[in-house]
Amino acid sequence: MMKKIIVATKNQGKIKEMINAFKNLPVELHSLSEFGPLPDAVEDGTTFEENAIKKAKFYAQKTGYACLADDSGLTIDILDGAPGIYSARFAGYHADDLANNKKMIEELQKKNVEQSTAQYVCSLVFVDTDGKTLTCTQKCEGIIRIFAQGNNGFGYDPYFFVPDLQKTMAELTIEEKNNISHRGKALREMEIQLGEYLK
């Protein structure tokens, strides 16, 4: 019996990534876009995990199906964890990658530094229709720098340097990135948790 799970995103890239990560589980993943216009979940939590839980619960309720949601972003140590949960809108509500990266560089320059230790964080949450909740949070440690390198990836990837690989996230192949990234680790952990839960 396949379990139908809604992924709380309209981003096809994220859905493909999850379909691939959970291909050995008895699940059938669907996008929010299959449900027509739905209101946005209110993400007013103070952590990635709180926001992912709010999103998963909200859409499980709206669709009547189990739901998977994630919240992820960048925390920069010298900026006291900023941009954190505001990573996608660091430069304002409708900011794009370019504007967010510009703001990040400006904030580092205000501190008179060209780099800082930083973490990419991903919280992944599964909520079933009966309220059963599975959560996991994973990190990828690195160094955020004020100059870009590489053309792959998105968001802050060209500025996020991974010392172990001596490359930025934007210089990695998809395979390399999935091995070490916060999202890759969270997906692998959730695969184990979901596998146990669906037994």
Point out the residues that are catalytic.
71
Flag whether 71 is marked binding. yes
Flag whether 22 is marked binding. no
Flag whether 44 is marked binding. no
Q: Determine the residue type at 48.
A: F
At residue 79, the 3 state secondary structure works out as helix
C-alpha dist (Å) from residue 145 to 42, 45, 53: 32, 28, 31
Flag whether 183 is marked binding. yes
Residues near 69 by beta carbon (within 8 Å), at least 6 away in sequence: 7, 8, 9, 41, 52, 53, 55, 56, 59, 124, 125, 127
Which pair of structure tokens corresponds to residue 128? 């079933």
Flag whether 58 is marked binding. no
Flag whether 131 is marked binding. no
How much of the chain is helix, strand and coil, in % rounded to 5?
Answer: 40, 25, 30
Flag whether 188 is marked binding. no
Flag whether 156 is marked binding. yes
Annotated binding site: 9-14, 71-72, 154-157, 177, 182-183
Binding residues for substrate: 9-14, 72, 154-157, 177, 182-183
> Which segments are annotated as binding site for Mg(2+)?
71
